[in-house]
Structure 1
Amino acid sequence: MNQASKPPSRRAEYAELTRRAIVDAARRLFAERGFFATRVDEIAAEARVSPATVYAVSGGKQGLMGTLIDEWTRAPIIAEYEERFARLEDPAEILRTLSFMTRTMRQDWGDVMRLALATAPHDQAVAADFALGTKRYRDGVGLVARRLADLGALATDVDADEAADVLWYYFGYASLFTLVDDNHWTYDRAERWLARAASDALLRK
């Protein structure tokens, strides 16, 4: 068996299980209590490790927030959908797919998004991680805009850059939170409306 194919050692497996327990505990407590109201010793107790282990594994609360933002903005679904967008040729279907992806990501990672939005203005380290995460998010939206432009699907007065801005308006942080949290729409209704609205705003008639 060559070096590359060796299974992880028991020590490595235990280290990963410990890291996962700490990250999951932090996510639960941050969602329940907020970033600033959660203490490292509470995360340690929830993960059944010592506070020293939390610092050693994650670098403390800021490090844990950075990990959560990284996991959200590098979720496997993102690469899967990027490949799907490259294959799709129906512009309306592309926007329906983007709307479904946005809804799915919000249901899976909305707690982390809300936490980052609330914490970043008050913590420099979290703000830096959130800025990087937002750039990845916007880059993904820009990829869809360029795909629509390449298909010749955009309205005559809209270029790829403007399309990316409009898509961010519909599929960035604010719109879905507003429709679901403030207006109490179902995710199904919000997903359908956002896809239609983006199509009306961007696509060639």
Structure 2
Amino acid sequence: MTDQPPSRRAEYAEATRVAIVEAARRLFSRHGFVGTKVDDIAAEARVAPATVYAVAGGKQGLLRTLVDQWTQAPVVAETLTRHQAIADPDEILRQTAATVRSMREDYGDIIRLVLTTAPQHAEVAQALEVATTRYRDAVRAVAVRLGEVGGLREGLSVDEATDILWFYFGYSGFFTLVDDNRWTYERSERWLAEQAGAALG
């Protein structure tokens, strides 16, 4: 027995939800979270303001959705799964750097939005806390795997390794190198992997 295809109503509802989320992302990036109104999102998505609340939970619901898209992107779990089949610490770090680069290129606008808005907005600060917990959990998983394959120098704990990895692969690494130093993503990715390896090994 095969699954029934989604009804036309369900397809329309999903298309409407996607349009609202994409409109919010564009407007948040352009005008900021505070500077964007629900009416603006509705106009951009070509729906009624009430639909933005009903379908997406207003601005706060949309922000949570965007944070989920970023922090639960499939590439994170895929990378951690691949690490289980790799015994070379340098390759694990190279793949980690590549994944972080991919996340910056795909979700950098969301990350910047949350980081810059959180100090002035309690609900955004809560979203950042959730995002950071998920992010650090993934970084810790990398540290654990490095420990399993001999990628941590003697006496370096997983907690310490997690902090070191966070220094290189947390929020600031790529933003500093690419935005402030005007490095390419490729150069930044290579340097971060090399420096993290030197700090851990």
| Fold in common (TM above 0.5) | yes
- Paired letter, 1:184: R
1:131-179 residue CA offsets vs partner (Å, 9 max, x unmatched)? 1111111100000000011112211131111001100000000111001
C-alpha separation between the residues in 1 aligned to 2:79 and 2:10?
Answer: 31
CA displacement at 1:6 relative to structure 2:
2.0
Alignment of 1:129-140 (within 5 A): 129-140=127-138
**Shift of residue 103, structure 1, vs aligned partner:** 0.5
Q: 1:180 aligns with which of 178, 181, 195?
A: 178
What SS is found at the alignment partner of 1:87? coil
- Structure 2 counterpart of 1:26: 24
**2:38 counterpart of 1:40:** yes
Where do 1:183-202 residues align within 5 Å?
A: 183-202=181-200
Question: Runs ≥4 in structure 1, deviation > 3 angstroms?
Answer: none
* Structure 2: 5+ residue stretches without partners: none
The residue identity in structure 2 corresponding to 1:45 is A
1:60 alignment partner in structure 2: 58
The letter of the residue matching 2:12 is: Y
The one of 136, 144, 154 equivalent to 1:156 is 154
Q: Give structure 1 stretches of 5+ with no counterpart.
A: none
SS at match of 2:87: coil
Q: What's the CA shift string for 1:84-114, capped at 9, x where partnerless?
A: 1111110001001100110010000000000
Give 1:128's match in structure 2, choosing from 126, 129, 135: 126
Matched, 1:86 2:84: yes
Matched, 1:100 2:102: no
Q: Deviation digits for residues 28-78 of structure 1, max 9, x if unmatched?
A: 011111111111111101101011100111111111111000111111111
Correspondent of 1:115 among 113, 123, 127: 113
Distance 2:134 2:95 in 1: 18
Aligned length: 201
The alignment yields a C-alpha RMSD, in angstroms, of 1.0
TM-score by length of 1: 0.95
Q: What SS does the aligned partner of 2:156 have?
A: coil
Q: Is 2:89–2:150's contact at 8 Å kept on the other side of the alignment?
A: no
For 1:200 and 1:17, the matched residues in 2 are separated by 47
Which stretch shows the higher mean deviation, 49-58 or 119-128? 119-128
**Partners of 1:128 and 1:8 in 2: how far apart?**
34
Report the identity percentage: 59
CA distance in 1, matches of 2:197, 2:123: 37
TM-score, normalised on structure 2? 0.97
Q: Does residue 74 of structure 1 match 2:98?
A: no
